[in-house]
């Protein structure tokens, strides 16, 4: 097993060398589509061959692994949220009793038709000081993260800043859902290590022991450079690594592993993953990131890190222009 073979397997599993026409099915296969910026969901789906008709409401946008936003099928949420069973109140918010009281009030206001964070700030300003209001209605989520992690609220749609009440509370424990989710991870993202899985699922140091308790006999495994990789058997015809591939911002093949060197050369890392943590849309040549792309003011933008043949630049521009055409007026 070589790094090239690993890359072929991953690109196949993540639908970068084949297509998945249904966006909801794609989100299931990949355990959610990263959407810190909502248009990355449309980008990721189109790159992987999915139809984006109705994409704003086809998936539920909420906080999942590592505190990041993902678009997922609503029926998947109870299982995915069970990965991090509620263990207590977040220290960064307020004391437990106060947090729960505010959360209960937020739910009551939502039941009465208040769905906007801005409206909530005005209502709560009558009883709480500026510092507390800033914490519970932070632009990073605040109390809505707390409620979303319990499966009680989610964003109204992929582009909205407002929230809706949902019914997706976990009914299983982390230990109960982990074996199946780990199997799904290795099927789509493998070959991968247990450290990769722990990173993907957002397990902290104390949580990693949960992975050691999951039976691993069903997986194929091999060792490379001192690391043990797991995957789910023979995927059949994987095809070759595409000559040219667009990757979305926060693309799974970049952000889902502890080691990214196989796809993201170290010399380009700072140009792709900014200090703020934002991962930009990229262009891969033969499976390795070689440039950036975007759609700015409705126009395709392509920028390679090193000079490329004119044919390659033209092909990349045409791919981005296709994405621009398909998303015009939709994102």
Q: Write down the pLDDT at residue 94.
A: 67
Q: Write down the pLDDT at residue 206.
A: 77
Is the peptide bond prior to 230 cis by the omega test (within 30 degrees of 0)?
A: no
93 has a pLDDT exceeding 70: no
β-strands 244-247, 60-63: how paired? Answer: unpaired
Q: Write down the pLDDT at residue 329.
A: 87
Range of the domain at 274: 244-327
Residue 171 burial (CB count, 10 A): 11
pLDDT band at residue 88 using 50, 70 and 90 as cut-offs: low
Our separate counts of H helices and E strands in the chain read 15, 11
Tell me the average pLDDT of the chain: 93
Q: Considering only CA atoms, which of 179, 177, 186, 196 is closest in space to residue 220?
A: 186
Q: Is residue 263 part of a domain?
A: yes
Domain end residue (candidates: 129, 148, 167): 148
Please name the residue that has the structure tokens 């589509």: 33
Distance between first and last Cα of the chain: 41
Q: Domain tally for the chain?
A: 2
> Which pairs from 266-269 meet CB under 8 Å and 24+ separation?
267/305, 268/305
d(CA 226, CA 208): 19
pLDDT band at residue 265 using 50, 70 and 90 as cut-offs: very high
Q: Is residue 219 part of a domain?
A: no
Domain end residue (candidates: 148, 173, 196): 148
Q: Is residue 43 part of a domain?
A: no
Q: Select the more confidently predicted residue: 126 or 95.
A: 126
d(CA 30, CA 14): 7
pLDDT band at residue 205 using 50, 70 and 90 as cut-offs: confident
DSSP letter for each residue of 5-36 = HHHHHHHHHTTSSS---BHHHHHHHTTSEE-S
173 has a pLDDT exceeding 70: yes
Q: Write down the pLDDT at residue 139.
A: 86
Q: Is residue 322 part of a domain?
A: yes
- Residue 31 burial (10 A CB sphere; 0-12, 13-18, 19+): buried
pLDDT band at residue 209 using 50, 70 and 90 as cut-offs: confident
- Residue 107 burial (10 A CB sphere; 0-12, 13-18, 19+): middle
Q: Is residue 188 part of a domain?
A: no
Residue 250 burial (CB count, 10 A): 26
79 has a pLDDT exceeding 90: yes
Q: Is residue 176 part of a domain?
A: no
Q: Tens digits of per-residue pLDDT, 104-115?
A: 999 999 999 999
pLDDT band at residue 97 using 50, 70 and 90 as cut-offs: confident
Average pLDDT over every residue of 248-254 = 97
Domain end residue (candidates: 99, 115, 148): 148
Q: Tens digits of per-residue pLDDT, 13-64?
A: 999 999 999 999 999 999 999 999 999 999 999 999 999 999 999 999 999 9
Indicate the range of 21-30, 84-93, 120-129, 221-230 predicted with least confidence.
84-93
DSSP letter for each residue of 119-144 = HHHHHHTTTS-HHHHHHHT-TT-THH
- Which 8-state DSSP code applies to residue 87? -
Q: Is residue 278 part of a domain?
A: yes
Q: Tens digits of per-residue pLDDT, 138-169?
A: 888 889 999 999 999 999 999 999 999 999 99
Q: Write down the pLDDT at residue 135.
A: 86
Q: Is residue 105 part of a domain?
A: yes
98 has a pLDDT exceeding 90: no
Q: Considering only CA atoms, which of 241, 240, 244, 239 is closest in space to residue 284?
A: 244
Instruction: Provide the percentage of residues in the chain whose pLDDT is more than 90.
Output: 82
């Amino acid at each position: 097993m070589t790094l090239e073979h690993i890359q072929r397997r991953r690109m196949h599993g993540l639908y970068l060398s084949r297509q998945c026409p249904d966006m909801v099915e794609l989100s299931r296969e990949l355990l959610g589509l990263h959407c810190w910026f909502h248009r990355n969901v449309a980008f990721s789906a189109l790159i992987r061959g999915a139809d984006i008709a109705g994409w704003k409401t086809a998936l539920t946008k909420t906080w999942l692994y590592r505190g990041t936003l993902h678009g997922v099928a609503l029926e998947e949420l109870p299982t995915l949220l069970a990965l991090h069973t509620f263990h207590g109140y977040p220290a960064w918010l307020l004391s437990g009793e106060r947090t729960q009281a505010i959360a209960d009030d937020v739910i009551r206001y939502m039941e009465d038709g208040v769905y906007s964070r801005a409206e909530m700030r005005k209502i709560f300003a009558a009883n709480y000081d500026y510092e507390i209001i800033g914490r519970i209605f932070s632009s990073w989520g605040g109390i809505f993260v707390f409620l979303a992690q319990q499966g009680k609220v989610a964003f109204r749609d992929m582009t909205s800043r407002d929230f809706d009440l949902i019914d997706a509370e976990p009914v299983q424990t982390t230990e109960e859902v982990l074996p199946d989710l780990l199997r799904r991870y290795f099927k789509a993202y493998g070959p991968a290590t247990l450290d990769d899985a722990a990173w993907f699922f957002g397990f902290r140091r104390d949580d990693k022991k949960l992975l050691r308790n999951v039976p691993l006999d069903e997986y194929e495994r091999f060792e490379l450079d001192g690391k043990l990789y797991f995957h789910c058997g023979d995927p059949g015809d994987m095809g070759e690594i595409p000559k040219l591939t667009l990757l979305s911002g926060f693309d799974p093949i970049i952000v889902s592993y502890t080691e990214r060197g196989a796809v993201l050369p170290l010399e380009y890392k700072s140009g792709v993953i900014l200090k703020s943590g934002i991962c930009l849309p990229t262009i891969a040549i033969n499976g390795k990131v070689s440039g950036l792309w975007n759609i700015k003011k409705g126009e395709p933008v392509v920028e390679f890190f090193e000079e490329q043949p004119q044919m390659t630049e033209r092909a990349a521009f045409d791919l981005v222009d296709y994405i621009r055409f398909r998303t015009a007026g939709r994102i």
